[in-house]
Chains A and B, each alone.
Chain A
Amino acid sequence: TRNGGSSGAKKDDAAHLHQFVMHASLDFVDARVWETTNMHLRLVDKFNDLSVYAFVTAGGTRFLLLHDQRIEESNIGVFFHDVHELWLRVSMNPFHTKRTPILDKTFDLRVRECAKSHFP
């Protein structure tokens, strides 16, 4: 229930910027995929103080992690791995398709828990 004003607008701007940066990084993801056999592609793009890390599954599903501070690289790999496990369960849901957004609240909760535990 925070009133609008400049703080609200700034939050919106940040969200838009983040989305833009992540989408822009997809080209780099697609290029990097051919340079390694790992699913974890590590850092694929930077924009000012924003960094994008990527993880691509065999079937071409991309996980992107956007961060605005330098963090322990090794944690990102484990984080992606855990999210991958969570995603595997979602992908096995017969109601899930590659085109549909994942609306499952349990998945959302678990990913957030994952993030909290790896990036305190």
Chain B
Amino acid sequence: GHAGARGVAMASHRTRSGGRGNPEHAGNAAWLATEKVNAELFTLTYGALVMQVMRDCEDCVEEVNKRLDKMGVSIGSRLIEDFLAKTNTTQRCASFKETCEVVALVGLKMFLGLTCVVTNWSLENTECDILFEHLNPFCEFVELPDRFVQDDLKYCQLLCGVVRGALLAIGTKTECEFVSDKLKGDETFVMHMKFLGNVEDEYPFED
């Protein structure tokens, strides 16, 4: 029950030595410790959001993609501080590799319950792929009409924005895009991460 879940989270805190520990364990512990909401409610809410954006943009897919991304950036920039506080992070990530693992194995697990794999690292460790078996919180029940598949509607773009916005808020510039999308008929969901550089004291948000 809830007490048991809290127990798991506290246990992991106590046994944490100086370092970050296993990100998968941290992710699972954080997921267990968080209060949950009904998945269908989330899915329907996100779906309603996308539909409203589509209406606002009069079905212009390019504009919709941009707006979803922008919303994601806004969410991500707020989420990051809460995330770091909840996962008791006292150390900076030593590398982009570590950053991506924390994002994928701790962040996406904690907030969305998603299990994913970080793989396909480039030689300089500046690019990688995050593989998802499913993106059900967002995509369950969703079938894109053909014309939106053709126009390349990026239904899950908000998630890309969240990741990019979160990392940008702590000084890491990235590219984050889905290169494989089940909603468009691909076999899997693959999010491609690319490190662009560090930024110091740059205020990235339009006011």
Binding site for B on A (CB under 8 A): 89-90, 92-96, 103-104, 106
Contact = CB atoms under 8 A, between A and B. Distances in A.
A94 B44 contact: yes
A92 B144 contact: no
Given A92-B44, A94-B141, 16 more contacts: A89-B141, A90-B141, A90-B143, A92-B40, A92-B47, A92-B140, A93-B141, A93-B142, A93-B143, A94-B44, A94-B46, A94-B50, A94-B51, A94-B142, A95-B144, A96-B143
Query: Which residue, B44, B48, B140, B145, has most C-beta atoms of chain A within 10 A?
Result: B145
A103 B145 contact: yes
A1 B143 CA distance: 31
Contact of A104 (B40, B143, B148): B143
B74 interface: no
A70 B146 CA distance: 39
A95 B43 contact: no
Interface of B: 40, 43-44, 46-48, 50-51, 140-146, 148
What is the interface of chain A mostly: helix, strand, loop, or mixed?
loop
Contacts of B46: 94
A93 B51 CA distance: 10
A92 B141 contact: yes
B145 A95 contact: yes
A90 B145 CA distance: 12
B64 to A, nearest CB: 12
A93 B43 CA distance: 9
Nearest to A106: B143
Nearest to A92: B141
A95 B44 contact: no
Contacts of A106: 143
Contacts of A93: 47, 141-143
Contacts of A94: 44, 46-48, 50-51, 141-142
A76 B4 CA distance: 47
A92 B148 CA distance: 18
Nearest to B40: A92
A76 B47 CA distance: 33
Contacts of A96: 143
